[in-house]
Amino acid sequence: MSDTALPTSIDDTLARLSALDYVADRQLATCVYLALKLQRPLFLEGEPGTGKTEIARTLATMLGRPLIRLQCYEGLDLAGAAYEWNYGRQMMEIRLAEATGGGAKESRDALANELFSERFLTKRALLQAIDPANPVPPVLLIDELDRADEPFEAFLLEVLADYQITIPELGTVKASQPPIVILTSNRTREIHDAVKRRCLYHWVDFPDAKRELDILQRRVPGIGPALAAQIVAFIQKLRSLELTKLPGIAETIEWTRALMELDAMVLDPEVIQHTLGVLLKYQDDIARMQGSEAARLLDQVREEARVAGG
Ligand SMILES: Nc1ncnc2c1ncn2[C@@H]1O[C@H](COP(=O)(O)OP(=O)(O)OP(=O)(O)O)[C@@H](O)[C@H]1O
Ligand SMILES: [Mg+2]
């Protein structure tokens, strides 16, 4: 069996993700395993910076598939997401036919047919992902679906349910083998039930301390164990506060890199103060952590480490 075959079990899924430095919990690994086995899209909702986009990238690498990414945005429509007729080329073709005297009815009909053939079709992410000519089915990432307008979700239903798109002028294009589909949302609004029903669903939460430490040591090699443990303990405490935006794994990694850049061996209140902007992106949150609050959290971290250390 080639090493790009589908995983054979949940443990195998965990191991192969982890070989690519993606540390999943068992629940996520189960969803990924089932989505691959059952050929169902995987819908991932969760906090920002918790590895939703990264899982699609990792799966593409793990399975040796190309990654096709559709970044959603307000105003995204069928033309931006699936296909568009290339009007410019169609016009040129018409002019050319006129110039070469295509006046007869048969040649006019032939031209009309030709104008709506694949040659004049610009394929965007969704259509590319289900192109029957694909040598291997790709990983299709439909990222941040909550940013698109609600009507856009209706376009997706046919793709998600049957891996096909109907183009009125051309007919139905259907994948010869289904792509692996990952949808993500930061839940700035609810996604319609009709979309969710076609997918397996998983809420991607912040990692516990053990998993976060594992991620940190993989993503920032060379970090000292004392600093790594303190950073994770501090961030875990920070996430228990009522902040406007809690730091995700992405912020943990960034903060660690910043601290190492500053040659910090352990956390101290001063270095925390000076680097808060790497961790928190709202002035209210930063203001709250300035002064005694960061020092208080750090005291707790040190005390717990002392107790744990005996
Ligand atoms: N489980 C994980 N294992 C290893 N690294 C991770 C994991 N989760 C997140 N990361 C790291 O955190 C970074 C941010 O993750 P990612 O961009 O996937 O977050 P996201 O959930 O898509 O965030 P957003 O909602 O802001 O788009 C990744 O580039 C990766 O380095
Ligand atoms: Mg993302």
- State how far Cα 143 lies from the chain centre: 5
Average pLDDT value over all residues in the chain: 94
pLDDT value of position 25: 96
**Binding-site residues, ligand 1, Cβ < 6 A:** 21-24, 48-54, 184, 186, 215, 219, 249-250, 253
Ligand 1 atom with the smallest distance to the CA of 186 is: 25
State the ligand closest to the CA atom of 247: 1
pLDDT at 101 over 80: no
- Categorize the per-residue pLDDT at 98 as very low, low, confident or very high, splitting at 50, 70 and 90: confident
pLDDT at 1 over 50: no
pLDDT at 279 over 60: yes
pLDDT at 233 over 60: yes
**Residue 260 in tokens:** 């190492």
Q: Whose CA is nearest to atom 10 of ligand 1?
A: 51
pLDDT value of position 83: 96
Q: Is 18 exposed, middle or buried (0-12, 13-18, 19+ CB in 10 A)?
A: middle
pLDDT value of position 103: 62
Mean pLDDT of 267-294: 92
Nearest to 62 by CA among 11, 108, 114, 5: 5
Q: Whose CA is nearest to atom 5 of ligand 1?
A: 22
Q: Whose CA is nearest to atom 13 of ligand 1?
A: 250
**Test site for ligand 1: of 13, 16, 20, 50, most ligand atoms within 8 A of the Cβ:** 50
- Residue 88 and residue 265: Cα distance in Å, rounded? 61
Nearest to 46 by CA among 55, 37, 38: 55
In Å, how far are 68, 111, 151, 201 from 116, measured between CA atoms?
Answer: 25, 9, 26, 38
Decide which of 6 and 2 is more confident: 6
- Domain residue ranges of the chain, discontinuous segments joined by +: 10-82+124-204, 87-118, 209-302
Q: Whose CA is nearest to atom 20 of ligand 1?
A: 49
**Test site for ligand 1: of 53, 141, 218, most ligand atoms within 8 A of the Cβ:** 53
pLDDT value of position 89: 93
248 CA → ligand 1 middle, Å? 8
- Residue 185 and residue 106: Cα distance in Å, rounded? 51
Mean pLDDT of 88-115: 83
55 CA → ligand 2 middle, Å? 9
Superfamily of domain 10-82+124-204: P-loop containing nucleotide triphosphate hydrolases (3.40.50.300)
pLDDT value of position 106: 75
- Residue 176 and residue 226: Cα distance in Å, rounded? 52
* pLDDT 10s digits, 259-268: 999 999 999 9
52 CA → ligand 2 middle, Å? 6
- Categorize the per-residue pLDDT at 97 as very low, low, confident or very high, splitting at 50, 70 and 90: confident
pLDDT value of position 219: 96
* pLDDT 10s digits, 20-54: 999 999 999 999 999 999 999 999 999 999 999 99
Residue 166 neighbours by CB distance under 10 Å: 11
68 CA → ligand 2 middle, Å? 14
pLDDT at 203 over 90: yes
- Categorize the per-residue pLDDT at 102 as very low, low, confident or very high, splitting at 50, 70 and 90: low
* pLDDT 10s digits, 153-179: 998 998 999 999 999 999 999 999 999
- Residue 32 and residue 51: Cα distance in Å, rounded? 13
89-122: b (≥16 Cβ within 10 Å) or e: ebeebeeebeeeeeeeeeeeeebeeebbeeebbe
Residue 139 neighbours by CB distance under 10 Å: 23
